[in-house]
């Protein structure tokens, strides 16, 4: 529920869950809804339909394994090629291991196909997240590293749609960065330490590039953002791919059994692509959040 980069989105539909020998299968069909002011007055957004199948296979040795299919039918989707109705089919897999100490990882890959107006969809997403925790060392440092490779469109005038659609994504790239998971490459190292059992400090940097110089930037909900043309001459594509580096500082303090205090500051100076395509300013965001669990 972070109102800086996103607004909570609700869905209405059904989900059927089946479990057998530890394997869980979810089959669902939902539509997003707009939230009304009164009770039971939410309205379905008929322009979008989402369905899918998600399979979780528990770890046999060290890693767990997921398989999933997601289908999306959407009216008036907007990408670099324009506005059109689309149907996308996403097949993905995820291999992951969770651990508070030692080595942990989350590897994921997705391929999309379908139709965007008269264009054929062929897009991809690849992600790797890794961490290593030292529990027996002072302050218990946790080293983290993640990287994402997300496809963008190579030619907005042909009939091939290569921009990845993350469907209904969470904020991927920090609180201050107004950038969504489409046409992107990022590398994100970080470090967390624990000065006391109830206090965690962290610092992260996120390096961001466009994947394709022929595609634009997209906002976190995968809405069109900055176009790929030079502001000095809109007829010329920008050759710059580097978007910028975001610096993130955070602190989390468990005050007692119920109350948690979290604060973070994100600082994002503009890179070459931002400077070449329009006015460029440094973005900053400071967030303080109290959480009471009872």
For residue 162, the model assigns a pLDDT of: 97
- pLDDT > 70: percent of the chain: 96
Q: List residues bridging with 24 in a β-sheet.
A: 19, 56
What's the whole-number average pLDDT of the chain? 90
Look up residue 171 and give its DSSP letter.
Answer: P
Contact (CB, 8 A) for 72 and 50: yes
For residue 7, the model assigns a pLDDT of: 59
Model confidence pTM above 0.85: yes
CATH of domain 10-292: 2.40.160.100
Which is it for the CA torsion 238, 240, 241, 246, positive or negative? Answer: negative
* pLDDT tens for each residue of 199-235: 999 999 999 999 999 999 998 878 888 899 988 888 8
Distance, in Å, from the CA atom of 202 to the CA atom of 185, rounded to the nearest integer, reads: 23
Task: Please state whether 258 falls in left (phi above 0), alpha (psi between -120 and 50) or beta.
Answer: alpha
* pLDDT tens for each residue of 267-288: 999 999 999 998 888 989 888 8
For residue 1, the model assigns a pLDDT of: 47
* pLDDT tens for each residue of 3-33: 555 556 788 999 999 999 889 999 999 999 9
Q: What is the 3-state secondary structure (H, E, C) of 206-233?
A: EEEECCCCCCCCECCCCCECCCCECCCC
Query: What ranges do the domains of the chain cover?
Result: 10-292
């Amino acid at each position: 529920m972070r109102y800086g980069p996103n607004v909570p989105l609700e869905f209405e539909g059904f989900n059927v869950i089946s479990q057998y020998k530890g394997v869980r299968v979810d089959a669902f069909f939902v539509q997003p809804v707009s939230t009304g002011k009164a009770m039971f007055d939410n309205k379905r957004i008929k322009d979008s339909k989402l369905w899918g199948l998600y399979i979780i296979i528990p770890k046999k040795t060290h890693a767990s394994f997921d398989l999933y299919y997601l289908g999306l039918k959407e009216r008036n989707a907007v990408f670099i090629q324009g506005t059109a109705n689309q149907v996308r089919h996403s097949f993905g897999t995820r291999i992951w291991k969770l651990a508070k100490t030692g080595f942990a990882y989350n590897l994921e890959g997705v391929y999309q196909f379908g139709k965007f107006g008269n264009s054929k969809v062929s897009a991809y997403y690849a992600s790797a997240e890794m961490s290593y925790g030292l529990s027996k060392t002072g302050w218990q440092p946790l080293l983290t590293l993640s990287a994402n490779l997300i496809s963008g469109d190579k030619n907005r005038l042909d009939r091939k749609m290569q921009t990845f659609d993350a469907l209904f994504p969470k904020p991927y790239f920090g609180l201050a960065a107004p950038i969504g998971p489409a046409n992107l490459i990022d590398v994100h190292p970080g470090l967390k330490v624990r000065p006391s059992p109830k206090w965690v400090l962290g610092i992260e940097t996120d390096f961001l590039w466009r994947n394709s110089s022929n595609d634009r930037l997209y906002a976190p909900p995968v809405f069109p953002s900055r176009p790929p043309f030079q502001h000095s001459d809109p007829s010329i594509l920008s050759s710059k791919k580097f978007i910028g580096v975001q610096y993130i500082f955070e602190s989390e303090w468990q005050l007692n059994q119920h109350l948690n205090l979290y604060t973070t500051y994100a600082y994002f100076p503009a890179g070459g692509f931002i400077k070449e395509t329009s006015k460029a300013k440094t973005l900053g965001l400071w967030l303080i959040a109290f959480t009471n669990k009872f």
